Amino acid sequence: MLKGILFLFTKRKSSIFENNNCKMDEIIISNFWRRTLQNEPNQTTTWDEETGYLYRLGISMELTLQFLYGERPDLEAFEHWVKAKSKTLDSETYHENVLSEQDLQFWENNGYVIIRNAISVEDCLETQQAIWNFLQKDPNDSLTWYTFHETQKGLMVHFFDHPILEKNRASLKIKKAYEQLYGTDKIYKTIDKVSFNPPITEKYNFLGSNLHWDVSLKQPIPFRLQGLLYLSDCKENDGAFHCVPGFHNKIENWMQSLHPHDNPRMVAVETLQPKPITGNVGDFIIWHQALPHCATPNRGDKPRLVQYLTYFPEDYKQADEWI
């Protein structure tokens, strides 16, 4: 064995269309098409199962919905689209643990953890350039930072399909960290967005959300993780990700302490104090979805660029009631 090898992995090429039960594939695709275009919600599969299936094929939910609502295809055309968009997946296993016992204890206490140098600087710079090119903006011309691109929704950019984004999503190091936190390798990745947060100016105000959760607050909150990759160094005033550390251990009692007519989301904005989670280029942050979190105004001199990447457990179920 060669010295200096830090990890070993096994690799196998697989295609979900080739290996899964074809009849079940057809049922899931048909049910999703009927749910969205025919407004038939009572299907034999759930929304979570249907979207999870598409994510496993490497297809983003936003692109799928854009195609369905924009083109309104018949079922056969949708089946052909899904097959054309599906990707051949690499099944790889990272055998060395990424998170130490100290990392895991920090996670238990704080509900977030930082994976240092998860993605190389070179790949982060390539990802930055891909985002700049996609948005038709120039990193050296600040006037272009504030021109509107049709794919921008606040800080979020609906940009999913690019080789370097796929390469980052395929990181075995990041996947292994998620596996350690979930306690299983039965997980699948989502196809998520990127974020573009330019510095605030006298003419440009911050477009991000206040402190929030991306999940129903119905208790108990299902165990699910979220994550983001810093594509450049991000200090406290550079639009850093903020969260309330440890709140995953307190949220149940906090919810019970509220008055019946309180809006917990508004109370959180008014009373909770989030902490900046800074990082360097290539650092990856994973947090428990029970932590309230937010982006913040960028008071630096360059836009903050981020790629989001989340893994779901295969048995994940969302709450039926939104609170």
Contact 244, 290 (CB under 8 A): no
According to the model, what pLDDT value does residue 55 have?
82
Q: In percent, how much of the chain has pLDDT > 90?
A: 59
Q: Which of 3-12, 132-141, 231-240 has the lowest mean pLDDT?
A: 3-12
Give per-residue pLDDT as tens, 292-323.
999 999 999 999 999 999 998 887 777 777 88
- Residue 8 pLDDT > 90, yes or no? no
Give per-residue pLDDT as tens, 77-127.
888 888 888 876 655 677 789 999 999 999 999 999 999 999 999 999 999
Contact 225, 182 (CB under 8 A): yes
Long-range contacts of the stretch 263-269 (C-beta < 8 A, 24+)? 264/217, 264/323, 265/212, 265/213, 265/217, 268/211, 268/212, 268/213, 268/292, 269/210, 269/211, 269/212
- Residue 134 pLDDT > 80, yes or no? yes
Question: Coil, strand, or helix at residue 228?
Answer: strand
- Residue 240 pLDDT > 90, yes or no? yes
Tell me the mean pLDDT in the region 46-73.
84
Contact 264, 255 (CB under 8 A): yes
